[in-house]
A and B are shown apart, each in its own frame.
Chain A
Amino acid sequence: MSTTAPKLELGRVGEIVPRADGIPKVTGEFAYSSDLNAAGMLWGHTLRSPHSHARITGIDLSAALAAPGVHAVLTHEDVPGEKLYGLEFQDQPVLAVDRVRYYGEPVALVAAEHPEQARRAAELIRVDYEPLAPIADAETATEQEPLHPDRPTMGHGYRDDPRPNIVRSLVIRHGDPDVEADVSVSGVYEVGIQDQAFLGPESGLCVPDGEGGVDVYVATQWLHVDRDQVAPCLGLKPEQVRIHLAGVGGAFGGREDLSMQIHGSMLALHTNRPVKIVYNREESFVGHIHRHPAKIWMEHRATRDGKLVNVRVRILLDGGAYASSSTAVTSNAASFACGPYQVDNALIESLCVYTNNPPCGAMRGFGAVQVCFAHEAQMDKLAAALDIDPIELRLLNALQSGDTMPTGQTIAGTLPVAEVIRRAAALPVPEQEELPRDPLRLPGGSGNTTRGEGVKRGVGFAVGFKNIGYSEGFDDYTAARVRLDADGSAEIHCAAAEVGQGVAGVILQVARTELGTEDVTLAPHTTATVGSAGSASASRMTWMASGAVRDACRAALEERDRNGGGAVDVERIYRHPRTSPLDPETGQTTGERSHVAYACAAMRVVAEVDVELGLTRIVWIGTAQDVGKAVNPQAVTGQIEGGAAQGLGLALMEEIQTRDGLITNASFTDYLIPTTLDMPPVVSELVEHPDPDAPYGVKGVGEPPTVVSTAAVVSALRVATGRELTRVPVRPDDIVGL
């Protein structure tokens, strides 16, 4: 039921290797989690809250139980074990108990012979709600009644902020945050709610093993942490729950939290039948967390010749109803708030609150996207105030290895900020195309709105950076197991989730490099045969899987040598350099480093904007990215292009809209993502300086392009329009000035 990557004939670390799943995906032959089937399978369906905040006063299942084809109707009373779960904090009910805190919160489950029967039966469940006033405004959330009176995220070494509805409150004090300078520029920046918008909706198949346990085949990002959340809620031991990776149709952070895993397992164990759950598009939009919307206040103080002196930042993140990974996002936003610049003095306050808005958590860029949009707008503003070239201003302040972060961490690894700036700035920008043109090559595209009238061109620039790997003392490791057969062939086991980023190929490239053979296969990704790989998140999986597979391969060869040949089977665990927590009062690192490593990217964007209609065509993107060492340059380029597209989407169109916590555009009709007409060609420069701490010197590459592209696109729009454009996505109204 899982896919095994076929053997490749070539390809060691550093070579271009075509993706094994590329052609099957393009031709529609790839089996996604929604394509799973089992004999005797039932279909599960989740009844969800139509309210963003309400008390549940009663649930009547009788009509649903009597509906045709129905095998089970379950509520919180049927959760066999723990009633609450959570990625990092156990604050989210498996099924709502007496209260719903967000629109779409799961309330009851149905299993039926046919998905339509399950949906129909769910409609027959009578839930009595007493609607409550939703907390929909993050700015006043700390003055409202607490949504989680037990304060689930407190007492984990975070700053104790006594106000209600705090997910995390972090203050970083660096140097003298009151110091004045010659020039000061300020701004307030807002970021709307972006969705991962992966094309494969949440789906999976849960199969009871006949001995009380369950096998879950699901599209996810971290198999073992799924297991560790699912098992307690089912009242099972971890080994009784086996999570197997099914075909993943995109993740981008949206599959870090559980979706149908516990629900499907409950129905499967209750009915003793395999149960499949597939969300539709609308349900997918409410069924996973989103990127945190943010409001960011920034002041930059600098000398007359452009040296940054003091940066003062306040960040407000709306975490929505449950914690998910919000505490780490809060910290990341603070870490990267000053941008990849050397700043001696800073005051950074980062606050994330609970509200009744859609829950937010991990999404590609993880807190760095929001602040990059703000700090890069500030750098352009400062350049204008000082009459310095914006690229020169960035070079003047560029962070480098050996410099100190606002958290007090000295950057130990590579961080070639100045080099990525220079190389991106040196890329030749295309000439303006002549008129008349096909409308498809003008802002407004197929809408035929201009023949050139109102169109202005702008060239923008931005730099961004982000951490690689998990931070703040998290015990981050990856296991890999290598079986060498007597005939010289090898089988690699690693639970690193292949979510489309290409880690399956990376694993094979590393194994071929280390073992010196092309006869290597990758076993299905599962919790059943190997230890945890950690999450396919935080741009960490290539680094971590490379380390684990390298170490396991070397250990296997040594063991075979010791044995004088024959078959061996070796498992090894790889850890990156240890990180330390931040001091809860000062935000300073309590050890050598709080982040493992950093990667940066610079991007140059050419935009054409119809300033009368507020429509945009991005003409060209050129970027230089710090990749450490490219394991597979073609895959790296793919990540850069996809990451840039996702950031462009946030800049121009992607936003979950809400009214009193209710999502009003849960469809691809009204949640727009870029088409091929919106996404220009990308010129990618791979800047390779191997990181001394990383296997082969690799750095993750998935997030930096997303971090920087939103800022770079809006920078180009500002040049074209002369407007400040302090909110993303930029709306036509903002460009026109309505």
Chain B
Amino acid sequence: MDVLTPRTLDEALRLKSERPDALPIQGGTDVMVELNFDRARPPALLNLNELAELRGWSEENGRIRLAAGLTYAEAMQTPLPALAEASRTVGGPQIRNRGTIGGNLGTSSPAGDALPPLLVCGAQVRMASVRGERTLPLAEFVTGVKRNVLADDELILAVDVDAEPGRQTFLKVGPRNAMVISVVSLALRVDGELTASFGSAGPVPGLVSAPLEDAESFPVQVAAAAAPIDDVRGTAAYRRHALRVLTKRALERCLA
């Protein structure tokens, strides 16, 4: 297995174009699990850790740009309340120091903790290849369980979100009190309207919006929008139930 380590974004895009089979790696918190369990043996890894272009976050024209290499530990320091709360739920300190927002997007798991808070913030995913750049809403970027629109020669550069967060919160259910994959999660934003996004309750993170006056029926609306399954982490019935409870509690927090 080759490990390719570009020093600049241009070099990375060129390498990805030459080696479309190279699997991008940042913190490795998803990729290394696959390698360690021998579930994947990509011909090459494209190590993106040296790219300054993928670090940090910035604010410009009412939008916040989160570079793909932003770690969860760094995301906890952004002015995005739901994303900060969601990042706090990820793994332990070591994982939060390594895992990145770009990796969460790249994996596109329905249990990806960063996805619901990004979705409620109007996230747009910026991608690039030697052919140029493009931007898509996050809801269109993720197409199925661990599937997305990223082409073989493309890399995720950043995700852009609204800088005015409104009132937000994030809640995640797991059967232990830390270091757990979400059984079901919910991000809520109240900002002129109600916007909720849930994780682990359908093949892709769900997005539900309603006018403010629908607050009372909103928990039921959110639960109804979910398409959960029974799996080793929980039952469909519980996930629907929990979504109602989480949405109600999130509304109480954000409307208080």
State the CA gap A731–B176 with chains docked (Å).
11
Residues 156-196 of B at the A interface (beta carbon under 8 Å):
169-183, 185
**Residue A303 interfacial (CB < 8 Å):** no
In contact, A448 and B178 (Cβ under 8 angstroms): no
Residues of chain B lying within 8 A (CB to CB) of residue A672: 175-176, 180
**Residue B36 interfacial (CB < 8 Å):** yes
State the CA gap A731–B232 with chains docked (Å).
12
**Residue A733 interfacial (CB < 8 Å):** yes
Residues of chain A lying within 8 A (CB to CB) of residue B241: 736, 738
The minimal Cβ–Cβ distance linking A198 to chain B, given in whole angstroms, is: 18
**Residue A614 interfacial (CB < 8 Å):** yes
State the CA gap A455–B89 with chains docked (Å).
20
In contact, B169 and A732 (Cβ under 8 angstroms): no
Residues of chain B lying within 8 A (CB to CB) of residue A443: 177
Residues of chain A lying within 8 A (CB to CB) of residue B179: 675
- Binary contact readout B52-83 vs A (1 if CB under 8 angstroms, 0 otherwise): 00000000000000000000000000000000
**Residue A425 interfacial (CB < 8 Å):** no
**Residue A444 interfacial (CB < 8 Å):** yes
B86 closest partner in A (C-beta): A448
State the CA gap A731–B235 with chains docked (Å).
10
**Residue B38 interfacial (CB < 8 Å):** yes
State the CA gap A675–B178 with chains docked (Å).
7
**Residue A282 interfacial (CB < 8 Å):** yes
- Binary contact readout A720-738 vs B (1 if CB under 8 angstroms, 0 otherwise): 0000000000011100101
State the CA gap A499–B242 with chains docked (Å).
42
Residues 666-692 of A at the B interface (beta carbon under 8 Å):
667, 669-670, 672, 674-678
**Residue A4 interfacial (CB < 8 Å):** no
Residues of chain A lying within 8 A (CB to CB) of residue B177: 440, 443-447, 615, 617, 675, 677-678
State the CA gap A282–B179 with chains docked (Å).
19
In contact, A454 and B245 (Cβ under 8 angstroms): yes
**Residue A653 interfacial (CB < 8 Å):** yes
Residues 125-149 of A at the B interface (beta carbon under 8 Å):
none
Which among B182, B185, B232, B238 is the interface contact of A732 at CB below 8 angstroms?
B238
B88 closest partner in A (C-beta): A446
In contact, B173 and A447 (Cβ under 8 angstroms): yes
Which among A440, A448, A612, A617 is the interface contact of B170 at CB below 8 angstroms?
A448
Which among B37, B85, B238 is the interface contact of A280 at CB below 8 angstroms?
B37
Residues of chain A lying within 8 A (CB to CB) of residue B234: 732-733
**Residue A272 interfacial (CB < 8 Å):** no
In contact, A613 and B245 (Cβ under 8 angstroms): yes
**Total number of B residues with any Cβ neighbor in A under 8 Å:** 37
SS class, residues of chain B in contact with chain A: mixed
Which among B89, B175, B181 is the interface contact of A446 at CB below 8 angstroms?
B89
Which among B37, B178, B233 is the interface contact of A282 at CB below 8 angstroms?
B37
- Binary contact readout A447-478 vs B (1 if CB under 8 angstroms, 0 otherwise): 11111011000000000000000000000000
Interface centre among B37, B38, B233, B242 (most CB of A within 10 A): B242
The minimal Cβ–Cβ distance linking B229 to chain A, given in whole angstroms, is: 13
**Residue A119 interfacial (CB < 8 Å):** yes
State the CA gap A675–B92 with chains docked (Å).
10
A734 closest partner in B (C-beta): B238
State the CA gap A732–B246 with chains docked (Å).
14
State the CA gap A665–B246 with chains docked (Å).
26
Residues of chain B lying within 8 A (CB to CB) of residue A738: 235, 237-238, 241
CB contact under 8 A between A444 and B178, given known A282-B37, A670-B232:
no
State the CA gap A449–B232 with chains docked (Å).
21
**Residue A153 interfacial (CB < 8 Å):** no
In contact, A669 and B181 (Cβ under 8 angstroms): yes
The minimal Cβ–Cβ distance linking A467 to chain B, given in whole angstroms, is: 32
State the CA gap A446–B170 with chains docked (Å).
11
State the CA gap A445–B89 with chains docked (Å).
9
State the CA gap A653–B174 with chains docked (Å).
10
State the CA gap A733–B234 with chains docked (Å).
8
Which among A440, A454, A614, A664 is the interface contact of B238 at CB below 8 angstroms?
A614
In contact, A664 and B172 (Cβ under 8 angstroms): no
Residues of chain B lying within 8 A (CB to CB) of residue A664: 232
State the CA gap A451–B250 with chains docked (Å).
10
In contact, B171 and A677 (Cβ under 8 angstroms): no
In contact, B232 and A665 (Cβ under 8 angstroms): yes
State the CA gap A319–B175 with chains docked (Å).
27
State the CA gap A678–B92 with chains docked (Å).
14
The minimal Cβ–Cβ distance linking A188 to chain B, given in whole angstroms, is: 21
**Residue A657 interfacial (CB < 8 Å):** yes
In contact, B180 and A612 (Cβ under 8 angstroms): no
B contact set with A: CB distance below 8 Å: 33, 36-38, 85, 88-89, 92, 169-183, 185, 232-235, 237-238, 241-242, 245-246, 249, 252-253
19 more contacts with CB within 8 A, not counting A612-B245, A614-B238, A672-B180, are A440-B177, A445-B178, A447-B171, A448-B171, A453-B249, A454-B245, A613-B245, A613-B246, A652-B175, A653-B176, A672-B176, A675-B92, A675-B176, A677-B177, A732-B175, A732-B238, A733-B234, A736-B241, A738-B241
A-B CB contact pairs (8 Å), 28 listed: A281-B37, A282-B37, A440-B178, A445-B176, A445-B177, A445-B178, A446-B177, A446-B178, A447-B89, A447-B174, A447-B185, A448-B89, A448-B170, A448-B171, A449-B249, A453-B249, A653-B176, A664-B232, A669-B181, A670-B233, A672-B175, A672-B180, A676-B178, A677-B178, A733-B234, A736-B238, A736-B241, A738-B235
By Cβ-Cβ distance, the 5 closest A-B pairs, closest first, are A445-B177, A447-B172, A677-B177, A677-B178, A665-B232
